[in-house]
Chain A
Amino acid sequence: QVQLQQWGAGLLKPSETLSLTCAVYGGSFNDYYWNWIRQPPGKGLEWIGEINHSGNTNYNPSLKSRVTISVDTSKNQFSLRLSSLTAADTGVYYCARGRGYDCWGQGTLVTVSS
């Protein structure tokens, strides 16, 4: 059974860069796109971007200029970097598998505050 476990810094200052990593345990890493999704407090879900094992990426156009998603196939991990943070980037960040998100990470609360 596949499990996604994510980690990263939870308290950041404006203008800093968010960095999160998601590790995939079980299942076939090469068969899927791997996604980052976020949820501001009290709001809906927003797709950030995706990557596959070959490093092919797609990003949400609204975030594209600030987002980098990378992959480490030797560890079955993928990572998110989001730069130039503002308070509007505060929320819970999730990793998820595939284009239907059939498996989710546990979520990481990221707070951007001075």
Chain B
Amino acid sequence: QLVVTQSPSASASLGASVKLTCTLSSGHSTYAIAWHQQQPEKGPRYLMRLNSDGSHSKGDGIPDRFSGSSSGAERYLIISSLQSEDEGDYHCQSWGTDIQVFGGGTKLTVL
């Protein structure tokens, strides 16, 4: 059964970098995922698709400050030069042949 796990919260200082983690369940380490950003009181926004080999394709207009990497069953979203508008929820999601699953989301606070 495909399960996606995220830490509930993270924080980092303005101008610093942060690495958010998304973990795929056992047996699903080759699956791709997608990252979505949700700023307060707004709808989700596609950031990128991230493959198991670390290759990723970002959405239109997503700044270079956002990047992704992979290691085994873990998928990472790295945000550098944090800005106040980066504060919000970050959702990880994956999919199989006939099922799609979200993680619980990570709430990012910019200090």
The interface of chain A, by Cβ under 8 A from chain B, is 1, 35, 44-47, 50, 58, 60, 92, 94, 99-107
Contact = CB atoms under 8 A, between A and B. Distances in A.
Nearest to B58: A102
Interface stretch (B10-18, B77-85, B99-107): B99-107
B91 A44 contact: yes
Contacts of A45: 36, 44, 91, 93, 102, 105
Contact of A94 (B44, B100, B103): B44
A46 B99 CA distance: 12
Contacts of A101: 34, 36, 44, 46, 93
B101 A47 contact: yes
B32 interface: yes
B60 A1 contact: yes
B95 A104 contact: no
B8 to A, nearest CB: 10
A60 to B, nearest CB: 8
Q: Is the interface of B mostly helix, strand, loop or mixed?
A: strand
B105 A44 contact: yes
A3 to B, nearest CB: 12
B94 to A, nearest CB: 9
B72 interface: no
Contacts of B101: 47
B100 A99 contact: yes
B32 A100 contact: yes
B64 interface: no
A104 B49 contact: no
A16 to B, nearest CB: 24
10 contacts: A45-B36, A45-B91, A45-B93, A58-B98, A99-B95, A100-B49, A102-B34, A102-B49, A104-B46, A107-B43
A100 to B, nearest CB: 4
Given A50-B100, A100-B34, A105-B43, 18 more contacts: A44-B102, A44-B103, A44-B104, A45-B36, A45-B91, A45-B93, A47-B101, A47-B102, A58-B98, A100-B32, A100-B49, A100-B93, A100-B95, A101-B44, A102-B46, A104-B43, A104-B44, A106-B43
